[in-house]
């Protein structure tokens, strides 16, 4: 059964961190540029401040993209909001991003444990249950989040589930092993698998589809690679180079922009 987050024409174009090839990553400018191009899906990361504010920020520490240093979760929000990404861009709150574009869907990567209950609270306040997909490199974070959400939310496969898909790749598409695994994924609200390009082989994509999973490939910034994964049947592509992906999809007749609003 198609969940609301994935109820959109394929292939899905996902602006990775808003599209870091054109503006500082996870910044308002990046997200606004992606939305202006017609992107219906934005990808971002979620980390907590020391006083419980959920921010769109990837790294554990501030060193790489700001002129500050140390863990972001060691600082209160009043200090974090004064920092600038790339010297000019404030760090957005997840709640503000969800509120800015009520029609846009967000792929949210939970980067730390303190952010899990904060995301549950944000979704409760915003009612954005049907337009988020929650992902993490930690299976325990995904399990904890699933237990805290008051409504079903689209979730990606855990690392262990991805390994299960890869190990069972030669199983009969409609055999008992496939049905068992597909049922387990469905009960865990895992509706898609998001994997790096090296994992997204043709056989992996076919196997994932047999298990009822969409396949989203990250992070593809090369036009030839974008073409290859689209030809393999990938359901979505994450990219920093959102202009190249959009242009390619337009040429292929596969660009499905969000409705202006």
CB count in 10 Å sphere of residue 3: 16
Residue 171's pLDDT is what? 61
Q: Token digits for 150?
A: 């008051």
Residue 1's pLDDT is what? 59
User: Contacts from 173-178 at CB under 8 Å and sequence distance 24+?
Assistant: 173/206, 173/207, 173/210, 174/210, 178/210, 178/211
Q: Token digits for 241?
A: 């180079």
Backbone angles phi, psi at 254, to 5 degrees: -120, 15
- Third-level CATH fold of 9-251: TIM Barrel (3.20.20)
pTM for the predicted model, two decimal places:
0.95
Tell me the pLDDT of the chain averaged across its residues: 95
CB-based contacts of 143, cutoff 8 Å, min separation 6: 158
Listed residue (136, 132, 185) closest to 161, CA to CA? 185
Of 22, 58, 124, 209, the active-site residue reads: 58
pLDDT-derived band at 51 (thresholds 50, 70, 90) equals very high
In whole angstroms, give the CA distance from residue 193 to residue 176: 21
Residue 12 forms beta bridges with which residues? Answer: 236
In whole angstroms, give the CA distance from residue 16 to residue 250: 19
DSSP readout, 39-101?
A: -SEEEEEEEE-TTS-EEE--SSBSTTTSS--SBGGGS-HHHHTT--BTTTBPPPBHHHHHHH-
DSSP state of 178: H
In whole angstroms, give the CA distance from residue 43 to residue 218: 11
**Per-residue pLDDT tens digits for 106-165:** 999 999 999 999 999 999 999 999 999 999 999 999 999 999 999 999 999 999 999 999
Is the predicted pLDDT of residue 172 greater than 70, yes or no? no
**Per-residue pLDDT tens digits for 234-248:** 999 999 999 999 999
In whole angstroms, give the CA distance from residue 256 to residue 246: 9
What's the longest Cα–Cα distance across the chain?
56
Residue 89 forms beta bridges with which residues? Answer: 85
Give the DSSP H/E element, type plus range, for residue 217: strand 214-218
Catalytic residue status for 16:
yes
């Amino acid at each position: 059964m198609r969940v609301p987050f994935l109820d959109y024409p394929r292939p899905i174009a996902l602006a990775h961190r808003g599209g870091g090839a054109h503006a500082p990553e996870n910044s308002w400018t990046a997200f606004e540029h992606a939305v202006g191009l017609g992107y219906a899906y934005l990808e971002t990361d979620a980390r907590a401040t020391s006083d419980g504010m959920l921010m769109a920020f990837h790294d554990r520490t501030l060193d790489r993209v700001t002129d500050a240093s140390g863990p972001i979760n060691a600082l209160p929000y009043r200090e974090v909001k004064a920092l600038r990404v790339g010297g000019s861009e404030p760090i957005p709150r997840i709640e503000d991003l969800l509120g800015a574009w009520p029609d846009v869907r967000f792929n949210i990567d939970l980067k730390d444990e303190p952010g899990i209950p904060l995301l549950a609270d944000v979704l409760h306040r915003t009612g954005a249950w049907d337009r988020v997909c929650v992902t993490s490199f930690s299976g325990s974070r995904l399990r904890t989040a699933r237990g805290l959400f008051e409504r079903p939310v689209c979730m990606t496969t855990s690392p262990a589930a991805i390994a299960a898909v890869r190990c069972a790749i030669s199983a009969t598409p409609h055999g008992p092993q496939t049905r068992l695994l597909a049922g387990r994924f469905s009960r865990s609200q895992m509706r898609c698998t998001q994997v790096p390009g090296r994992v997204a082989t043709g056989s992996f994509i076919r196997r994932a589809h047999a298990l009822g999973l969409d396949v989203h490939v990250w992070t593809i910034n090369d036009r030839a690679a974008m073409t290859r994964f689209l030809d393999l049947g990938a359901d979505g592509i994450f990219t920093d180079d959102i202009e190249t992906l959009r242009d390619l999809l337009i040429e292929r007749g596969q660009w499905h922009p969000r409705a202006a609003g």
